Amino acid sequence: MMLNGERRYFLGVQKSARGVSWEHRLDARGENLALGMAQSHGMPEIVARVLAGRGVPQDEAARFLAPSIRDLLPDPSTLTDMEEAAQRIAGAVLAGEKVAIFGDYDVDGAVSSAILKRFLSHYGVTADIYIPDRLFEGYGPNPEAMRELVRRGATLIVTVDCGTNSAPSIAAAKELGADVVVLDHHQVGGPLPEAAAVVNPNREDDLSGQGHLCAAGVVFLALVQTTRILRKKLAATSPPDLLMMLDLVALATICDVVPLVGVNRAFVAKGLVAARQLRTPGLSALARVSRIGEPLNCHHLGFLLGPRINAGGRIGNAALGSLLLATLEPSEAEAIADTLDRLNRERQDMEAAMLAEARAEADAELMNGSGPAIMVTASETWHPGIVGLIASRLKDHARRPAFAIAFDQNGTGTGSGRSITGFDLGRLVREAVSEGLLVKGGGHAMAAGITVERGKLGALRAFFEENAAGVVASLREAESLKIDAALSADGATLDLLETLEAAGPYGSGHPAPVLALPRHRLVDAKLVGNGHVRADLRSHSGAKLQAIAFRAAETELGNFLFAHRGATVHIAGNLAVNHWNGSRSVQFRITDAAADA
């Protein structure tokens, strides 16, 4: 935060353990807004500060704290082609057609496929789910798979979380007489396919303003619109309870890291209420294998359930996640969840080994000065289904955009990249394709996928350096941690936590409040679990607070905590609830620390 051209450092921290500055999230105008919000709405000041720091207008604060589907659900018909899509799906229901659902292999694709199948099954419509193999087929529809679905009898194919950029594949289905409806949310990268309908809020001609939806959100709106049509045509048939599917929509919204704005907030808030009832057999089974002994929350969905669903697409059967979430049979759900849990453990082992290699390669480059603007690591022994996870970890470790590439025996590499805020990685990848340095590549600002030949890797690194060095250096220099408020261990209570949760749910586009604990004594720090660091903190008055820094072992933050045992330090992070043996207590999740100057 700048004041008269100068940064307003929080607690004077200009360089923390993670190498960033700490700054006030609110400027003077924000401070006044928070004060006015607290006074006019009678809310705690800290909640008002959180809302003001996330751009919530004063006159919308009360509504923001109570998100509802009724208030926030947009009219589905405002999305381009939505009426055509709903009419075609309703027509398939009325005619008893055979429908095929072509989905993506991630959580959003699995959820989208599952809720559409459950909807159609309610009306007795046969619907088969097809999820492509990540390694052999890649993302999205391919012509041969589409032809095969038509040969199996499908007269309508609905692509979910894919299809917008698959004109040739959709044309292949159309040539054999099948209709295709696209329900997607990805950026448009070329001419739209000639489908019966292409519903995508990110189409250039879509004026709905719903571009923040994930694919499951788009599918949910399509089912709302289809239900309106079928309610008139099938008056004697009760429609499915779409609100009971919000647990899955919440799962996809969180795991696809779309902004928690607009109806997305209501999807997650109401979806969590539904999820905690564990009425969906697949979620119940996943919660069991994940050993979750407390009410489901956003963290559970994003970091425990989501990775298990993704494990099938990364190293196993890509369709397992969608089958798990679509089934209403508890025994089948238990069996699939057990398989996904096993695959997830295998994935974790692979990831640990790959990450150790990647970090060693990265650290060797970082030792020679500042290192490259974009970290590029590669190996012939890595699994291509896990490179995205490695790129994400490297990006956090090196504080710069990063790629991880898995080369096959023919010298062709499948790579994935992750970026830092402010750097458009997708644009750079598209430029590299134009320069002939990549076989293919695409993505968006924060993530990209590439295919590269081994012989061009050196030229690609040089291209990245030439085109990114200045921008990345400036972004890293300006990187800061925005602090919402200061707190003491004395005030870190369950009541405060519940007060802050009223301003949630938190996630992409609506980050969790970052609080600073000034001048607390770091009584102890020790390694626990799988690379986590547990810290015992004590305030000046003697109040104690247990804290944890996840995956901090062998990082700058972890090293700082171990080196400052017994010292007085500043700690930054988030409040969370810790469930243990039937009791609840407050836990502080550390994201950064700094010396007490």
Start-to-end CA span in the chain (Å): 21
- Looking at the chain, the number of H-run helices and the number of E-run strands are 21, 20
Residue 389: predicted pLDDT: 94
Look at residue 296 and tell me if it is in a domain. Answer: yes
Contact 537, 545 (CB under 8 A): yes
Distances (CA, A) of 233 to 14, 88, 93, 119: 65, 13, 10, 16
Q: Tell me, yes or no, whether 166 and 274 share the same domain.
A: yes
Q: How far apart are CA 258 and CA 216, in angstroms?
A: 11
Cβ–Cβ contacts within 10 Å for residue 11, how many?
18
Q: Tell me, yes or no, whether 276 and 396 share the same domain.
A: no
Look at residue 63 and tell me if it is in a domain. Answer: no
Contact 320, 105 (CB under 8 A): no
Residue 337 CB partners (closer than 8 Å, separation 6+): 282, 285, 286, 288, 289, 308, 324
- Map tokens 């700094």 to a residue: 594
Q: Tell me, yes or no, whether 193 and 295 share the same domain.
A: yes
Distances (CA, A) of 14 to 2, 93, 243, 590: 13, 62, 47, 18
Look at residue 75 and tell me if it is in a domain. Answer: yes
Look at residue 572 and tell me if it is in a domain. Answer: yes
Look at residue 538 and tell me if it is in a domain. Answer: yes
Residue 65 CB partners (closer than 8 Å, separation 6+): 43, 47, 51, 502, 503
Q: Tell me, yes or no, whether 232 and 297 share the same domain.
A: yes
Q: Tell me, yes or no, whether 449 and 490 share the same domain.
A: no
Q: Tell me, yes or no, whether 31 and 84 share the same domain.
A: no
Residue 293: predicted pLDDT: 86
Q: Tell me, yes or no, whether 290 and 415 share the same domain.
A: no
Contact 445, 10 (CB under 8 A): no
The pTM (predicted TM-score) of the whole model is: 0.91
Q: Tell me, yes or no, whether 37 and 77 share the same domain.
A: no
Q: How far apart are CA 364 and CA 235, in angstroms?
A: 68
Q: Tell me, yes or no, whether 391 and 335 share the same domain.
A: no
Residue 110 CB partners (closer than 8 Å, separation 6+): 103, 104, 131, 252, 309, 313, 321, 322, 324, 325
Phi then psi for residue 48, to 5 deg, are: -60, -40
Contact 166, 198 (CB under 8 A): no
What CATH number should be reported for the domain holding residue 48? 2.40.50.460
- Nearest in space to 211 (alpha carbons), one of 188, 189, 194, 231: 188
| Tens digits of pLDDT across the chain (597 residues) | 544 446 789 999 999 999 999 999 999 999 999 999 999 999 989 999 999 999 999 999 988 999 999 999 999 999 999 999 999 999 999 999 999 999 999 999 999 999 999 999 999 999 999 999 887 887 889 999 999 999 999 999 999 999 999 999 999 999 999 999 999 999 887 899 999 999 999 999 999 999 999 999 999 999 999 999 999 999 888 999 999 999 999 999 999 989 999 999 999 999 999 999 999 999 999 999 999 989 999 999 999 999 999 999 898 899 999 999 999 999 999 999 999 999 999 999 999 999 999 999 999 998 866 799 999 999 999 999 999 999 999 999 899 999 999 999 999 999 999 999 899 998 999 999 999 999 988 877 888 889 999 999 999 999 999 999 999 999 998 899 999 999 999 999 999 999 999 899 999 889 999 999 999 999 999 999 989 999 999 999 999 999 999 999 989 999 999 999 999 999 999 999 988 777 889 999 999 999 997
Phi then psi for residue 522, to 5 deg, are: -85, 90
Residue 509: predicted pLDDT: 87
What CATH number should be reported for the domain holding residue 395? 3.10.310.30
Look at residue 517 and tell me if it is in a domain. Answer: yes
Domain count, the chain: 3
Look at residue 335 and tell me if it is in a domain. Answer: yes
Residue 1: predicted pLDDT: 52
Residue 78 CB partners (closer than 8 Å, separation 6+): 207, 208, 210
- Please identify, among 414, 436, 453, the residue that sits at the C-terminal boundary of a domain: 453
Phi then psi for residue 315, to 5 deg, are: -135, 10
What CATH number should be reported for the domain holding residue 282? 3.90.1640.30
Q: Tell me, yes or no, whether 145 and 269 share the same domain.
A: yes
CA Rg value for the chain: 25
Q: Tell me, yes or no, whether 187 and 264 share the same domain.
A: yes
Q: How far apart are CA 485 and CA 517, in angstroms?
A: 9
H-helix or E-strand containing 396?
Answer: helix 387-398
Q: Tell me, yes or no, whether 432 and 285 share the same domain.
A: no
Could you list the residue range(s) of the whole structural domain that residue 426 is in? 370-453
Look at residue 478 and tell me if it is in a domain. Answer: no
Residue 414: predicted pLDDT: 94
